Structure 1
Amino acid sequence: MIETDILVIGAGPAGSTAAKHAAIAGSSVILMDKKSEIGSPKRCAEGVSKEGLKKLGIEPSERWVTKEASGIRMVSPNGTSVTLTEDKVKLPEAGYILERKVFDKYMAMDAGRAGVQIMIKTLATGMRREDGQMVVTAESMGEEFQIKAKIVIAADGPESRVGRWAGLRTSLKPKDMESCAQFEMAGVEMEEPDCIEFYFGSVSPGGYAWIFPKGDDIANVGLGVLTTMTDKSAYEHLLEFVKNNPATKNAQAVEINVGGDPVGGLLKKKVTDNVLVTGDAASMVNPLTGGGIISGMLGGRIAGQVAAQAVIEGDYSEKSLEIYEELCEAELGKSFEKYLKAKNYLLSLSDEELDQIAEAFQKSDFETINTAEMVRKLVKISPKALLKLGKLF
């Protein structure tokens, strides 16, 4: 039996951040991950905001930043495009395209330097409560063993299995989980090679398609769909998108990634006795953009700090840990509620309405660009937006 104050299950950015901050606060921490290589395979389009990294106190490194994006290009179903670059407008949410396989390991290394014990290729197979603590059974390289922890932080991804073991409802409705597919491609011929591109409408029902440049002619090309809005798989939609898009028709895929993206807003209940869930496991993903790296790390930081304080106080009860939910609500929840309503509004639009909005956007002057500003513009342009979103911002 291995004993520790805090066990973090899942070494993505949220889990590594939780482990790091728990260790900084004085707890003994184990961080375990089932994969043999942390960060592989990647699970997203790899974009993060500069402001988000700054808020987390993380200095960008050339080791894991592959491209700095200077703007965004939004394309409606009929091909009408709106390009916003930092030479035209302030772009506080413009950011970096990462190499997640390096970034995730970098974050785990950061946790290790803070004193965290890291266990790779270690799979949690079960969990039980015993004498006021949690005992997790695990398997690594054919060996079975147990880890006893005062607090377990579940950072094991969407629909957290560890959270379910603890009695939390982490399963999601189909309308709250996008199915995503992505290629990393070479030979991509982008119209604006320094801009992130988004494609809206029936090309990707329930979500959007994206092209995120990674330097030279390399890009992540993917999309997310809601299975409640299409009979085709995300992969089938991706094949069609790649075939028909001028930027990708001559490109070749060198990697494919598939997975789910929780876009229904924060889980209501994220704690129980001895257990917190964080990151994608707690649906810490912006419902409108589908981005979850920065928000997951912000949630992970709170989880690590709250867990470490509970260890100091010797109280691991649900009541003691409920401050985590309050802090997450203040940091993420209120904005997520607004973005969820905005997403539901966009899902109600036809391709023709999206084209009309794009044409109106072309004529608009933007002083800044972020998610909130985009919604404000929508309210001005569309009567339907005013009806549904006018009181949000």
Structure 2
Amino acid sequence: MIETDILVIGAGPAGSTAAKHAAMGGAKVILMDKKSEIGSPKRCAEGVSNNGLENLGITPDPRFVAKEIDGCRLVSPDGTDVWLTKEEIDLPEAGYCLERKVFDKFMAMDAAREGAEIKIKTLAKDVKKTDDGFIVTCESMGKLFDIKAKIIIAADGPESHVARWAGLKASTKAKDMESGIQFEMCGVEFERENIIEFYFGSCAPGGYAWIFPKGDDIANVGLAVIAPETDKTAYEHLEEFVANCPATQNAQAVELNVGGDPVGGIVKEIYGDNILVCGDAAGQVNPLTGGGIISGMNGGMHAGKVAAQAVKSGDCSKKSLKEYETIVQKEIGKDIDKYLKVKDYAQSLSDKELDEVAHAFQNVSFEELSTTEIVKNLVKVSPKALLKLGKLI
């Protein structure tokens, strides 16, 4: 039996951040991941904001930053585009396209340097509650062993089992789980460099398609769909998009990534006696964009801090850990709720309505690149948006 104060299950950005801050708080921490290489395979378009990294105390490093981003292009079904770049508007912050296979290992190394013990290729097989914590049965290299922890932090991704094994209501409904698929491609022909592109409408029912540049002629090209919204697979939609999009018609794929993306907001229960949930496992994802790196790391940071304090106080009960939910709701929950309303509105629009919005946007002056600014201008040009989203601005 291995004993520890805090066991973090899942070494993605959220889990590694949780382990780092728990260790910084003085707790004995184990961080485990089922993969043999942390960060691989990636299941992400890899975009983050500079401000988001800064708030987490992370300095961009050329070893994990693939490309600096200067804005975005929004494309409606008929090809009408809206440019929100430094050439058109003031950008309050830069963004980056990461190399997740490097970035995730950097985050795990940060946790290790703060004192967390890392166990790779270690799979959680079972979770049992005890009077003073949990016993997690693990498998590594064909061998079974148990880890006893005062607190477990479930950061095991969108397919999370740990929280449910522990008795929490932490599942995402099928209608709120996007099926994401992506090629990393070379030979992509960009209209402008350093710009991320979003394509809306029936090319990706329930979601959108994207092109995220990674330097030279390389980009992540993918899309996400809601399965009940289409009779095609995500892969079929991606093949059609790549064949029809001018930027990718001459490009070739060198990597394929697939995965689920929870876009239904934060799950019902993210804490309980001796357990916290963070990252994709907790639904800490922007429902509008599907991006979850920064919000998940914020969740992980607060989970690690609250868990360490609970261990120090000797009280790891649900009552003690409720502080985590309070902080998360204040720091990221309100924004996620807002984005969820915008997502539901966007999904209600037909291709024709999306084109009409894009046409109207041609005569709108944007002041900055932000969700609030986009919503503000949607309300200006669309009575339907005013009815659905007017209260958000």
Q: Distance in 2 between the 1:117 and 1:163 partners?
A: 22
Q: Distance in 1 between the 2:123 and 2:381 partners?
A: 51
Q: Partner residue of 2:218?
A: 218
Matched, 1:172 2:137: no
Q: Partner residue of 1:83?
A: 83
Matched, 1:66 2:66: yes
Q: Partner residue of 1:138?
A: 138
Q: How far off its partner does 1:93 sit?
A: 5.0
Name the stretch that deviates more: 37-46 or 170-179: 170-179
State how 1:241-390 maps to structure 2 within 5 Å.
241-390=241-390
Determine if contact 2:159/2:260 at 8 Å carries over to the other structure: no
Q: Distance in 2 between the 1:183 and 1:125 partners?
A: 31
Return 5+ residue gaps in structure 2 as ranges.
none
What SS does structure 2 have at the residue aligned with 1:129? strand
Q: How far off its partner does 1:89 sit?
A: 1.4
Q: Deviations 1:326-348 (Å, cap 9, x if unpaired)?
A: 11100111111111111111111
Determine if contact 2:185/2:220 at 8 Å carries over to the other structure: yes
Q: Distance in 1 between the 2:362 and 2:16 partners?
A: 42
TM (norm. structure 2) is 0.99
State how 1:122-137 maps to structure 2 within 5 Å.
122-137=122-137
Determine if contact 1:43/1:257 at 8 Å carries over to the other structure: yes
Determine if contact 1:156/1:281 at 8 Å carries over to the other structure: yes
Name the stretch that deviates more: 273-282 or 158-167: 158-167
Q: Distance in 2 between the 1:100 and 1:385 partners?
A: 36
Q: Distance in 1 between the 2:11 and 2:45 partners?
A: 18
Q: Deviations 1:111-158 (Å, cap 9, x if unpaired)?
A: 000000000000111111123221111011111111110000000011
What SS does structure 2 have at the residue aligned with 1:390? helix
Q: Partner residue of 1:234?
A: 234
Q: Partner residue of 1:12?
A: 12
Q: Distance in 2 between the 1:209 and 1:303 partners?
A: 32
Determine if contact 1:50/1:92 at 8 Å carries over to the other structure: no
RMSD between superposed Cα atoms in Å: 0.9
Return 5+ residue gaps in structure 1 as ranges.
none
Determine if contact 1:93/1:370 at 8 Å carries over to the other structure: no
Q: Partner residue of 2:163?
A: 163
Q: Distance in 2 between the 1:18 and 1:80 partners?
A: 42
Q: Partner residue of 2:192?
A: 192
What SS does structure 2 have at the residue aligned with 1:276? strand
Determine if contact 1:74/1:199 at 8 Å carries over to the other structure: yes
Q: Distance in 2 between the 1:197 and 1:102 partners?
A: 23
What SS does structure 1 have at the residue aligned with 2:54? helix
Matched, 1:151 2:151: yes
TM (norm. structure 1) is 0.99
Q: How far off its partner does 1:316 sit?
A: 0.9
Determine if contact 1:19/1:30 at 8 Å carries over to the other structure: yes
Q: Distance in 2 between the 1:93 and 1:376 partners?
A: 19
